[in-house]
Amino acid sequence: MVNERSVVPVEKIEKAILQIDGKRVMLDADLAELYGVETKVLIQAVKRNKDRFPQDFMFQLTKKQFDILRSQFVTSSQWGGRRYPPYAFTEQGVAMLSSVLRSPRAIRVNIEIMRAFVRLRQMLASNVELARKIDELEKKYDAQFKVVFDAIKQLMAPPEPPKRPLGFRKGKE
């Protein structure tokens, strides 16, 4: 493999991959920034080639999805002032963008994005494989190791979001 200098930091690409309704996607504004074009230019190119972007490649967020997404980020300046919810591109949609945006930068960025999606899939697959192996070991060994297996499973579980208390709190007196 040729050692190419990265056009965009890998971390920036990985942070731009979001999960919406169980799908890993990238938003139009993030992609436009990575490709070095304005968001409206990216959307215009996509709209000129509508047939290449079926619903499972690209979809526009609903107002509810957009509001949830905004609430997950401390600041909404990235999307502030938009008159419409962003478009979300699945991995296949991002791959299809390479046929629409043909600049040398777009091609290199697209390759890096594809590699980031592959790395993400590999990480998720290795976690699933690890969980399967732990289950097999747990069945194989007796109850004295149950505490160890429970601790390992706890470490592998994603952290639960903090829960806000319900009701009113009386002020300090």
Q: Are 57 and 96 within 8 A, CB to CB?
A: yes
Residues 83 and 139 occupy one common structural domain: no
What is the domain-level CATH number for residue 18?
Answer: 3.10.260
* Percent of the chain residues topping a pLDDT of 70: 75
User: Domain range spanning residue 131?
Assistant: 126-156
Average pLDDT over residues 64-85: 69
Say what the pLDDT of residue 78 is: 56
Pair 18, 87 in one domain: yes
pLDDT at 111: 81
pLDDT band at 60, cuts 50/70/90?
Answer: very high
Q: Is residue 134 part of a domain?
A: yes
The arithmetic mean of pLDDT across residues 10-30, rounded, is 86
19 pLDDT more than 50: yes
Q: What is the 3-state secondary structure (H, E, C) of the chain?
A: CCCCCCCCCHHHHHHHCEEECCEEEEEHHHHHHHHCCCHHHHHHHHHHCHHHCCCCCEEECCHHHHHHHHHHCCCCCCCCCCCCCCEEEEHHHHHHHHHHCCCHHHHHHHHHHHHHHHHHHHHHHHHHHHHHHHHHHHHHCCHHHHHHHHHHHHHHCCCCCCCCCCCCCCCCC
Residues 35 and 74 in one domain: yes
Q: In terms of domains, do 152 and 92 share one? A: no
93, 149: one domain: no
Q: Are residues 71 and 138 in the same domain?
A: no
1 assigned to some structural domain: no
Q: Are residues 18 and 88 in the same domain?
A: yes
* pLDDT band at 5; cut points 50, 70, 90: low
Which of 38-42, 56-60, 136-140, 166-170 has the least mean pLDDT? Answer: 166-170
Share of the chain above pLDDT 90, in %: 21
Q: How confident is the model at residue 11 (pLDDT cuts 50, 70, 90)?
A: confident
Regarding whether 151 and 80 lie in a shared domain, the answer is: no
22 located within any domain: yes
Do residues 73 and 151 both lie within one domain? no
Q: Where does the pLDDT of residue 76 fall: very low under 50, low under 70, confident under 90, or very high at 90 and above?
A: very low
pLDDT of 2 above 50: no
Whether residue 70 is found in the same domain as residue 141? no
Higher pLDDT, 37 or 70: 37
